[in-house]
Amino acid sequence: MTFGEKLKSARKEAGLSQEQLAEKMSVSRSAIAKWESDKGMPDVNNLKVMSQLMNVSVDYLLDDDEQISFNEIKEAITLESYVKTGKCRDKRDAVCYEKHGDADAIYALISKRKMSKMEAIIDFIVQPGIVEVLDRTKEIAGFYLVEKGTKQYFVKVTNDFITTSELPKKVEGKKFDIGNHRYIKGYRIL
């Protein structure tokens, strides 16, 4: 999605017309129309204001590959206080299971960063798989796809936080992309 498409979608999700958003931001309606048609970009201050008014992050609006929706909840956790039970293979699974135990299904996800052509060449020449290994050492996290009724959520569990984001469209099949990562459905927790 382009910036303009995301802006329009977020504005509608917030229940605002172009005129209402323009009034709240103290800009013209034509400025909103220009931004939504990708014929211009707001300045940094306007980006901050619009992200607050529509409850979306500036990153979401600016990242062309982002597919996370507007509804994101980030909650602090203490990973060590969770106990793995049932089909949970580790403590991150247990966090997701405890927070989303009312779901219809929870799938653990395998994350793979999509490499640029240069990274793929380096990876092939140096040691196949080295870029992925280096990427995984930057941040250790568990990723999950949670299904509740007609909605799906992308969940990330780190040592300190669980972040749950509603997906704007239903994920079909075993593979899907969010940003510069490809996710593959793994084992089912619930």
Residue 67 lies in a domain: no
Residues in the chain where the model's pLDDT stays below 70: 64-70, 115, 130-139
| Per-residue pLDDT at 85 | 85
Cα Rg, the chain, nearest whole Å: 19
Note whether 47 and 134 are same-domain residues: no
CATH classification of the domain holding 7 = 1.10.260.40
Is the Cβ–Cβ distance between 141 and 103 less than 8 Å?
no
Task: Note the pLDDT of residue 148.
Answer: 94
Report the pLDDT value the prediction gives residue 57, as an integer from 0 to 100: 79
pLDDT value of position 137: 54
Parent domain of 12: 3-62
Neighbouring CB atoms inside 10 A of 74's CB total 11
pLDDT at 134: 57
Strands 105-113 and 142-148: antiparallel
Cα separation values, 15 from 8, 9, 23, 53, Å: 11, 10, 14, 11
Q: Please indicate, yes or no, whether residues 35 and 96 belong to a single structural domain of this protein.
A: no
Q: What is the pLDDT of residues 86-131, one digit of tens each?
A: 889 999 999 999 999 999 999 999 988 776 777 777 777 877 776 6
Sign of the CA dihedral running 30, 34, 35, 41: negative
Asked, for residue 101, whether it belongs to a domain, the answer is yes
